[in-house]
Chains A and B, each alone.
Chain A
Amino acid sequence: MRRQSGQASVEMIGCAVLLAIATVAVLEALTVVRARITAERVADQAAVLMAEGRPLPASLRGAARIERRGDRLVVTVPLPVRLPALPAAAVVTATVPR
């Protein structure tokens, strides 16, 4: 009886750890996708504004780091939680026509 109870506890702990890892993985996937989507949106809008010769609004700059390198526009959205195996930020590059 004690052996069965001990095994049940081990199984419970194992399941809890597995669940926690899976949950963290899913949340991290969501975060990465969210950052990527934000970077895409900001890059879209910034590239269009630049190509149309219009200034970038402050709200756009507040959402991400926007750098102009020649005709390339680099938009970086950092991930709030950094995991070793994953990139630290979502980076999207757009080339603005001259």
Chain B
Amino acid sequence: MSERGQVSVMACAVVVLLVVAGFLIGVLGGIDSAGANAQRAADMAALAAGHRLSSDPAAADADLRSAAADAARDNGGRLVSLIQLTEDGLPSGVEVSVAVDGEHPVRARARVGVEFTAAEPTASFRPVDLHGLAGRAAVVAAAAAQVGWPYVWGGESRAEGGFDCSGLVDYAFTAAGAALPGRPTAADLWRMGRPVPAAALQPGDLVFVGAAGGAPHHVGIYVGDDTVLSAPHTGARVGYSPLAYGGWDSYASLLPAGPAPLDDPVSAAARRSGVPGHVLAAELRMGLASDPDAAAAALARAQAGHPGSLQEALATQLGSASAAALVLRDGGGAGVGLSGAVRLVPLPHGDADADHDASLPAAPAQTPTGRPASAPMAAGSSWSDDIGTALDAGGHTAEQLGERGRAVPLQAAAALQHLSRFGLTALGGLLPDPDWRDAVNVVGSIWDTYSAIRDVTAAAAAGGLELSGVGLWAARFSVLGGALSTGLFAAQAYSARRSRDRVGYGLMAVGSAATTAGLMTAGGSLMAMGATTSVVPPVGLTLIAVGAGICVTGYLVRHPEWCRGAARIGAAALDVAWRAQSAPVRAVATVADRARSLAGSIPTPW
């Protein structure tokens, strides 16, 4: 009979453990799923903001937030924060934090890096953003942007490979908003112009060779400071030369007379180093350089290494292809196409706000770069796949528990605590030996006492302990279980034969009642099925602590042998501690005694 009963009890225990395991799987799976949802929402939000940034590096924070918020919302999340990342003052990426509310509120972060690429138009020369310049200054700036292009006779387009002298003038006037009729040659320009004496030359005026004979064959643009900008001859490049050494014999102006534009230090530095003025100005505007001459010299050195590509020269000078693209865009304006490769990048360890530099790592061919991607399982999975998935899920869940958000660890820890406590209760009810059951139950009561004292301490300032999710349901079951226990303990106290059992069960009944009453101080929200949160006030937590303590006392009254055993263990521990502590003293005393005795044994000669 008793064997049959034990089989049933053990079977029930296994079933309960399986149910607990199933519950645990469900809870952890839910937490993992919530974490994955949050991470996906964060990834998509970051990528959306990154794409917005890649199309407009000057996009306002509000625009990026709007794009990120939309993407987060579409994926079930809520944008919490967005930080625009910069590298050397230039936009380099975005980091977002996204929250997913629900049963397992989770917060996740994601970071994208944006690598900009500039694309100059294929059919025309360097576009130039004149940044408000007009008239003579605009003509000079537009021409100065073309420094470095090769001379090609009859050339007037990129497709032809370069400029000739009149092509450069035509381009500069057109870019400055003063387009010339047709495609004038040097002779046409001379005829269109108003002759001016050399002493009255102003930046933007034209200088000619051969005009004295009536048909000039070469033309340049006077840029001030006795310097001419021109596309000189085959084999040479657009560049500066002194007015005195070019053989210029005639001068004319296509622009109305007016005050000469000021020769700014940036243009002067570009002229001295022979570099395109518009990108030098952009570098200084964007804060990438502060000394025009030093920046111009650095760019000149870089251009010597990359004579055919201003973008590559800029990348070499600035140490970043992305920065070079942004400089070209700023200097060239909307005519320079700008695009950006947007990639998830790993979050820095520690405080994300501490490091806003987001460099773009080389992207592997097949997997996203945002984080170590877990390999998806192949169809027709094997046990190794299952183990891998389990490990992956475990790792992911651990990541959720450990890193993401503040709510998840609390929820998960609470869930595990409640499950463990529930496991103790189940074990205490199912173990075959009553003494074992009591031993497990007293551990549970000590746990309750400790938890309640800890909660009282922590919740005193907050006005109570807020219960939600798993915690709320655990409290509801605890109320039912506490009420049941109170009745059972009272009945056992009534029917007990030994006085210590009567006292012990009585104390346990009182303790259970106090614990239940403590939980009930949370009010109706505790048991209302529709309620999602409930608050146990400090007085309730105190009652729970006191009640659990009384329960422990009840168990100890019923099991004086535990007290005796504990006293024996305590005494033994104290004895060991005392011996350990006093060992050095005793050793010193022994050595001293021996020294004394040795000294006494030495015979005196007198």
Which residues in A have some Cβ–Cβ distance to B below 8 Å? 4, 7-8, 11-12, 15, 18-19, 22-23, 25-26, 29-30, 32-34, 36-38, 40-45, 47-49, 51-54, 57, 59-60, 62-64, 71, 94-98
CB-CB < 8 A to A59: which residues of B? 366, 375-376, 378
B392 within 8 A of A: yes
A-B CB proximity, top 4 nearest: A97-B48, A95-B74, A15-B11, A63-B376
Closest A residue to B28 using CB positions: A33
Nearest chain B CB to A70's CB is how many angstroms away?
Answer: 11
B491 within 8 A of A: no
For window 27-82 of B, CB contacts with A under 8 Å fall at: 28-29, 32-33, 36-37, 39-40, 43-45, 47-48, 51, 67, 70-71, 74-75
Q: Of B8, B22, B37, B377, which contacts A38 at CB under 8 A?
A: B377
Please tell me if the beta carbons of B29 and A33 are within 8 angstroms of each other in the complex: yes
Closest A residue to B26 using CB positions: A29
Please tell me if the beta carbons of B44 and A95 are within 8 angstroms of each other in the complex: yes
CB-CB < 8 A to A30: which residues of B? 25
Nearest chain B CB to A17's CB is how many angstroms away?
Answer: 10
Q: A11-B7, A38-B389 are in contact. Are A52 and B376 (CB under 8 A)?
A: no
Q: Of B1, B363, B378, which contacts A63 at CB under 8 A?
A: B378
Please tell me if the beta carbons of A48 and B376 are within 8 angstroms of each other in the complex: no
Please tell me if the beta carbons of A37 and B393 are within 8 angstroms of each other in the complex: yes
CB-CB < 8 A to B379: which residues of A? 62-63
Please tell me if the beta carbons of A33 and B40 are within 8 angstroms of each other in the complex: no
CB-CB < 8 A to B33: which residues of A? 36-37, 40
Please tell me if the beta carbons of B11 and A18 are within 8 angstroms of each other in the complex: yes
CB-CB < 8 A to B48: which residues of A? 51, 97
CB-CB < 8 A to B373: which residues of A? 41, 44-45
CB-CB < 8 A to A12: which residues of B? 7
CB-CB < 8 A to A40: which residues of B? 32-33, 36-37, 40
Closest B residue to A7 using CB positions: B4
B118 within 8 A of A: no
Chain A interface helix/strand/loop/mixed: helix
Please tell me if the beta carbons of A41 and B376 are within 8 angstroms of each other in the complex: yes
Stretch at the interface among B12-20, B349-357, B553-561: B12-20
CB-CB < 8 A to B374: which residues of A? 41
Please tell me if the beta carbons of A48 and B11 are within 8 angstroms of each other in the complex: no
Please tell me if the beta carbons of B378 and A94 are within 8 angstroms of each other in the complex: no
CB-CB < 8 A to B28: which residues of A? 33
CB-CB < 8 A to B4: which residues of A? 4, 7-8, 11
Please tell me if the beta carbons of A47 and B25 are within 8 angstroms of each other in the complex: no
Chain B interface helix/strand/loop/mixed: helix
Q: A22-B19, A29-B26 are in contact. Are A45 and B376 (CB under 8 A)?
A: yes
Please tell me if the beta carbons of A33 and B26 are within 8 angstroms of each other in the complex: yes
B195 within 8 A of A: no
Please tell me if the beta carbons of B393 and A29 are within 8 angstroms of each other in the complex: no
Closest B residue to A77 using CB positions: B377
B290 within 8 A of A: no
Q: Of B343, B363, B367, B393, which contacts A33 at CB under 8 A?
A: B393
Could you give, for residues 362-404 of chain B, a 1 whenever the CB lies within 8 Å of some chain A CB and a 0 otherwise?
0100111010011111110000001001101100100000000
A sample of 11 cross-chain residue pairs with beta-carbon separation below 8 angstroms, ordered by A number, consists of A15-B7, A25-B22, A38-B376, A41-B374, A41-B376, A41-B392, A43-B40, A49-B368, A52-B344, A57-B367, A59-B376
Closest A residue to B397 using CB positions: A37
B408 within 8 A of A: no
Nearest chain B CB to A22's CB is how many angstroms away?
Answer: 4
Please tell me if the beta carbons of B342 and A26 are within 8 angstroms of each other in the complex: no
Q: In the complex, A67 Cα to B28 Cα: how many Å? A: 28
Closest A residue to B10 using CB positions: A15
Please tell me if the beta carbons of A26 and B368 are within 8 angstroms of each other in the complex: no
Nearest chain B CB to A39's CB is how many angstroms away?
Answer: 9
Please tell me if the beta carbons of A95 and B75 are within 8 angstroms of each other in the complex: yes
B21 within 8 A of A: yes
Q: In the complex, A64 Cα to B301 Cα: how many Å? A: 54
For window 322-360 of B, CB contacts with A under 8 Å fall at: 341-344
CB-CB < 8 A to B12: which residues of A? 15
Could you give, for residues 248-272 of chain B, a 1 whenever the CB lies within 8 Å of some chain A CB and a 0 otherwise?
0000000000000000000000000
Nearest chain B CB to A55's CB is how many angstroms away?
Answer: 9
Closest B residue to A23 using CB positions: B18
Please tell me if the beta carbons of A4 and B368 are within 8 angstroms of each other in the complex: no
Please tell me if the beta carbons of A64 and B376 are within 8 angstroms of each other in the complex: yes
Q: A8-B4, A60-B376, A95-B71 are in contact. Are A44 and B36 (CB under 8 A)?
A: yes
Q: In the complex, A69 Cα to B375 Cα: how many Å? A: 24
